[in-house]
Structure 1
Amino acid sequence: MSRITRVFREGFLGVIRHFALSLSSISSVTVTLLLMAVFLLLSVNINSITHQLESSVQIHVQIDDQHETQEQIDAIRAQIEAIPSVTHITYSSKEEELETFIQINGDESDVAEKLYGPFRGDNNPLLNAFIVQTSTGESMNAVTEQIEAIEGIFNASHGGTATMLFVETLGNVRNVGFVIVVALGFIAVFLISNTIRTSIHSRRREISIMRTVGATNWYIRWPFIIEGMVIGLIGSIIPILVTIFGYKYLFQFANGLIWNQVLTLVPVTPLVFEISGLLVMIGTVVGALGSLFSVGKFLRWSR
């Protein structure tokens, strides 16, 4: 127990004794984690937007007018449901199709009602239809082709080409953000390693004495690892505060919306607490790794 206490005490004292060097590392970690927080929040919201867009794109399947009996319609539905990527099917009768068409094209002057209202009843030229949703946007084209091959289908279209291109672009942005976060992690490890290396160099006499009296490498390493973890932990405080209060302000300012009521931001909780926990973990792990690498190199060189 006394050995463990000594390790933590020396680790915390190392930060205080070499405060100027520690402050440099803390500042570097703070800036790095701030950038990480921004990209993590951006990535999570892009992910959410992508799913929202994908779920809004549906396949409109028109049924041939020679297949209007309930038995035929049920048979077609069963074949569509058997397609692996299909998640939900909604039947829309020709009467519902006409009402939806009038509603979409309507305005305050009721021009659409005057033009298309008389087509209700036996004069309805539209076809019965299925509204099909798929599990992912990427499977939309393949599912559409499979549906068109089913007997009794007049036409199947999703009209989501532009949306799919936008989704693909968002996916690329998300991937770039992930690469940047990983790169920032390596930069933080490098910065902390350099700071700890300088600290180790100033204490090389102390380390040499410890090795002379028989201290093991890990006995020497642990205080520096704790020191790096403390630096990473302190460096994560400001990014956490910015994440919690900054994202909360942004969410309230935008009223939780990105564009009208179609695309929404991810709710503040539990997102900000999950990101905060991740920042703490990244800070401490990066600090520990930076210290471990630096001490390991010094111990190898000093043999």
Structure 2
Amino acid sequence: MKIRTVKYFASQGFKGVWRNGLMSLASIGTIASCLIIVGIFYCIAANVDYILKTLEETTGITVFYMGENTEENIKYVEDKLNDIEYIKEIIYISPQEALEKEKKEWGEYASLLDGLENDNPLPPSFEITLDDIRHQEYVVSKLNTIPDIEIRYLEEETKILIGFNNMIRIISLVLIVILGFIGIMLMENTIRLTVFIRKNEINIMKYIGATDWFIRWPFVVEGIVIGFIGSILPLTIIWFSYNFVTELIYEKNTFLQNILTFRTPEEIFKVLVPVSLVIGIGIGIIGSSISIRKYLKV
């Protein structure tokens, strides 16, 4: 394709955006609104998913062996644990190691635990890390078949987070479909107005031998420009809003800094930027292609 032809397509596309100012603004606003909502839900879903992964690495499941503490019994429980699917790592903690851990956690009051070395009441335990916290219920059901053990894990908290994460993903998908459809319809009307204004010119171009794609490209460029602007605006808004909101949460709830870690803006936008551009420009291309199709039938 010649450079002169590309320049013609680009200039006609930008002129179309300017010519239909109000309709172009309405299309940009619709796409931006769609992507702001999608972006907000993605930020929430990404952080909930990140918290779930953090739970996998930091909490997991603790199994206490309450039977007779013999080498054979501990080996039996360990073998049973190794037979369960979805367990990524098993760490054995002896009563002596558990006592040392408790002393560190008690800090200046650790002296209260002195004298327990010879009569240690703490049971041996296993710290279990899962490959995916969504398999927690399955693993727990298998653990319940092992005799003489007690299980501790964040049952309700994990269920709430998993349910919330699934709900956010479903809502995000539904919103993308609904708002995307609205965006395409509004984009179609915007481009259709440009096509209607230039319909006589298009007919003449068809009669003198212009190809469909030569006629179509300026309108496709117009859709791409509108889609691109409609994508950049929400990304800019979300970038500043995300930083503000996460800093505000930490500022108002300082105790959360040791419990929750949010994804950095860079991690969020590494995914959100290409997704937003694809959705925005895709809406522009689809809408412009639909609107001009019937005017090419001469």
TM-score, scaled to structure 2: 0.84
Q: Say which SS state the counterpart of residue 133 (structure 1) adopts.
A: strand
Residue 242 of structure 2 contacts residue 265 of structure 2 at CA under 8 Å; is this kept in 1? Answer: yes
The yes-or-no answer on 1:215 pairing with 2:213 is: no
> 1:264 corresponds to which letter in structure 2?
T
> 2:21 corresponds to which letter in structure 1?
F
Q: In the superposition, relative to structure 1, how do residues 42 and 298 fare at CA in structure 2: closer, same or farther (>3 Å)? A: farther
Q: CA separation in 1, counterparts of 2:132 and 2:126?
A: 18
- For 1:166, which of 160, 163, 183 is the aligned residue? 160
Q: How does 1:262-281 map to 2 (within 5 A)?
A: 262-281=259-278
Return 5+ residue gaps in structure 1 as ranges: none
Residue 15 of structure 1 contacts residue 227 of structure 1 at CA under 8 Å; is this kept in 2? Answer: yes
Residue 55 of structure 1 contacts residue 133 of structure 1 at CA under 8 Å; is this kept in 2? Answer: yes
> 1:249 corresponds to which letter in structure 2?
F
Q: CA separation in 2, counterparts of 1:263 and 1:223?
A: 49
Q: In the superposition, relative to structure 1, how do residues 51 and 175 fare at CA in structure 2: closer, same or farther (>3 Å)? A: farther
In the other structure, the counterpart of 2:92 is 91
TM-superposed deviation, 1:149: 3.4
Return 5+ residue gaps in structure 2 as ranges: none
Q: In the superposition, relative to structure 1, how do residues 148 and 31 fare at CA in structure 2: closer, same or farther (>3 Å)? A: closer
Number of equivalences: 293
Q: Say which SS state the counterpart of residue 196 (structure 2) adopts.
A: helix
Q: CA separation in 2, counterparts of 1:184 and 1:283?
A: 11
- For 2:41, which of 31, 39, 42 is the aligned residue? 39
Deviation per residue, 1:13-52 (Å, 9 max, x gap) = 2222333332222222222222222222222122212323
Q: How does 1:96-245 map to 2 (within 5 A)?
A: 96-98=97-99, 114=112, 117=113, 120-150=116-146, 153-171=147-165, 172-245=167-240
Residue 94 of structure 1 contacts residue 128 of structure 1 at CA under 8 Å; is this kept in 2? Answer: yes
Residue 89 of structure 1 contacts residue 133 of structure 1 at CA under 8 Å; is this kept in 2? Answer: yes
Q: In the superposition, relative to structure 1, how do residues 136 and 79 fare at CA in structure 2: closer, same or farther (>3 Å)? A: same
Residue 92 of structure 1 contacts residue 130 of structure 1 at CA under 8 Å; is this kept in 2? Answer: yes
Q: CA separation in 2, counterparts of 1:245 and 1:164?
A: 30
TM-score, scaled to structure 1: 0.83
Residue 69 of structure 2 contacts residue 124 of structure 2 at CA under 8 Å; is this kept in 1? Answer: no
TM-superposed deviation, 1:174: 2.9
